[in-house]
């Protein structure tokens, strides 16, 4: 064991010496390995960044929530087809609400518009104002931090009351208690009755800059002519499919669609995006592994070629080493170590570069790119594999050289 370690150390030193002697050649040789490992690791880091962002984003869309809307989330380049669909109305919403069981599915309308919000000289522009009902609290998982949510009466009476997001409290009121204060939204005055719990930022969106008012008040102040979304939270995930079918049936009925006529609305759900996303990322992975494998193959053949050259160049050295007692196994081990070192060098350069790629991605996109640990091991593993696989043949050629012939080689 100790003897092997001693020989391994000697072999590593021989390899390092040989690489130093042919710096340029070594770097060129590792190019294929670098490209291969870089491709795989970079794509893995991009996708892991995407995944992280996507999962967070997706978690804002409840997995049990159905989104009944004018447009489908995933179109196949036929966007114009959906433009002529009639708007979704409050009547549609009320029809659905009145014909479903709220223990099974809770339904809320969703409508929003960006408006200016003012208080005491401070103002915020482009604040999303959302029209809500009592049900929105359940459907959108709203949690109140201070004050309270709307009562049924406030909703029905279309009161000018507002629940504000945490960031609005911070920015408009400079953290003073806003409850009971009057603010202006697009010039109309509203009483603040509650503050939402802090939600945080994601992908450049600050979810805490949002204000919520009764849906009736929304239409009264900002106009009736707009298409709404209807959000339906299914209480038991197992019921998602039948509830979706039921809602579809009710919607068709509410919108007077005859049998055989296509739906003029879409029922969207998180799953649709997830599927689309999964097929996109698995496509990317496949492409990366394809390109990576090809580059590693080319790199590997390059390594084999260079190692064969190296064996020939060092035939005399091999002869000398054999004449003083190096076994065939030691000689082949020596060249294998050299090939592995070249490849690990390439792998490590690639990992270093992919670190910069990750930083670059983070800088130019909103995605939190990261290098997943498994991709580092995979990158190093790949380069080791290439080093061993393509180093075996040259190592074998070196080992089987005849000592006397090699000694006479000039």
Partner 1 sequence: MKDILIDLRQISKVYDTDKVPVHALRNVDLQINHNEYVSIMGPSGSGKSTLMNIIGCLDTPSEGSYLLEGAEVHTMDDNTLARIRNKKIGFVFQTFNLLPRASALHNVELPLIYSGLSSQERKKRAEEALDRVKLSHRKDHNPNELSGGQRQRVAIARALVNDPSLLLADEPTGNLDSETGADIMKLFDELHNNGNTILMVTHEEHIAAHAKRTIHILDGQIAQDKGVE
In the complex, which residues of this chain contact partner 1 (CB under 8 A)?
Answer: 2-4, 6-7, 10, 17, 21, 316-317, 319-330, 403-404, 407
Residues 6+ apart with CB under 8 A from 252: 263
Q: How far is the CB of 6 from partner 1 (least distance, A)?
A: 5
Closer of 32 and 319 to partner 1 (Cβ): 319
Q: How far is the CB of 22 from partner 1 (least distance, A)?
A: 12
Helix (H, G, I), strand (E, B) or coil at 370: coil
Closer of 359 and 404 to partner 1 (Cβ): 404
Q: How far is the CB of 16 from partner 1 (least distance, A)?
A: 12
Going by C-alpha positions, the residue among 95, 351, 129 that lies closest to residue 247 is 95
C-alpha dihedral, 147 to 151 to 154 to 155, nearest 10°: 120
Closer of 116 and 317 to partner 1 (Cβ): 317
Structural contact between residues 211 and 142, judged by C-beta atoms closer than 8 angstroms: no
Q: How far is the CB of 335 from partner 1 (least distance, A)?
A: 16
Helix (H, G, I), strand (E, B) or coil at 161: strand
Helix (H, G, I), strand (E, B) or coil at 215: helix
Residues 6+ apart with CB under 8 A from 245: none
How far, in Å, CA of 395 to CA of 362, rounded? Answer: 43
Q: How far is the CB of 401 from partner 1 (least distance, A)?
A: 11
Q: How far is the CB of 408 from partner 1 (least distance, A)?
A: 9
Closer of 194 and 319 to partner 1 (Cβ): 319
Other C-beta atoms lying within 10 Å of the C-beta of residue 30: 26
How far, in Å, CA of 358 to CA of 377, rounded? Answer: 17
Closer of 122 and 327 to partner 1 (Cβ): 327
How far, in Å, CA of 40 to CA of 34, rounded? Answer: 10
Closer of 6 and 74 to partner 1 (Cβ): 6
């Amino acid at each position: 064991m100790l003897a092997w370690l001693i020989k391994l150390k000697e072999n590593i030193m021989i390899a390092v010496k040989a690489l130093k002697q042919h710096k340029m050649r070594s770097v060129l040789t590792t190019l294929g390995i670098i490209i291969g490992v870089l491709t795989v690791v970079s794509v893995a880091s991009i996708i892991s960044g995407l995944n992280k962002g996507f999962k967070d984003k997706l978690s804002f869309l409840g997995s049990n929530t159905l989104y009944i809307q004018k447009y489908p989330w995933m179109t196949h380049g036929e966007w114009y087809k959906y433009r002529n669909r009639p708007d979704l109305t409050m009547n549609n919403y009320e029809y659905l609400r009145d014909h479903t069981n709220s223990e099974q599915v809770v339904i809320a309308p969703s409508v929003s518009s960006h408006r200016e919000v003012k208080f005491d000289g401070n103002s915020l522009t482009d604040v999303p104002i959302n029209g809500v009902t009592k049900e929105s609290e359940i459907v959108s998982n709203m949690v109140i931090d201070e004050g309270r949510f709307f009562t049924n009466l406030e909703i029905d009476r279309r009161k000018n009351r507002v629940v504000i997001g945490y960031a609005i409290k911070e920015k408009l009121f400079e953290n003073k208690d806003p409850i009971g204060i009057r603010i202006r939204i697009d010039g109309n005055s509203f009483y603040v009755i509650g503050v939402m719990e802090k939600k945080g930022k994601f992908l450049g969106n600050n979810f805490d800059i949002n204000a919520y008012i009764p849906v009736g008040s929304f239409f009264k102040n900002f106009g009736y002519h707009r298409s709404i979304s209807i959000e339906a939270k299914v209480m038991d995930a197992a019921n998602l499919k039948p509830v979706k079918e039921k809602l579809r049936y009710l919607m068709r009925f509410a919108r007077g669609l005859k049998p055989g006529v296509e739906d003029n609305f879409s029922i969207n759900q998180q799953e649709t995006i997830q599927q689309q996303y999964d097929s996109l990322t698995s496509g990317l992975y496949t492409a990366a592994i394809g390109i990576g494998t090809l580059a590693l193959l080319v790199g590997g053949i390059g390594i084999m070629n260079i190692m064969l050259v190296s064996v020939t160049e060092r035939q005399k050295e091999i002869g000398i080493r054999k004449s003083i007692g190096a076994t065939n196994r030691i000689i082949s081990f020596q060249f294998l170590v050299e090939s592995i070192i070249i490849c690990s060098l390439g792998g490590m350069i690639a990992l270093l570069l992919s670190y910069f790629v990750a930083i670059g991605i983070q800088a130019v996109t909103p995605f939190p790119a990261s290098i997943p640990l498994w991709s580092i091991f995979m990158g190093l593993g790949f380069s080791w594999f290439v080093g061993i696989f393509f180093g075996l043949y040259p190592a074998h050629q070196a080992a089987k050289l005849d000592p006397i012939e090699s000694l006479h080689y000039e």
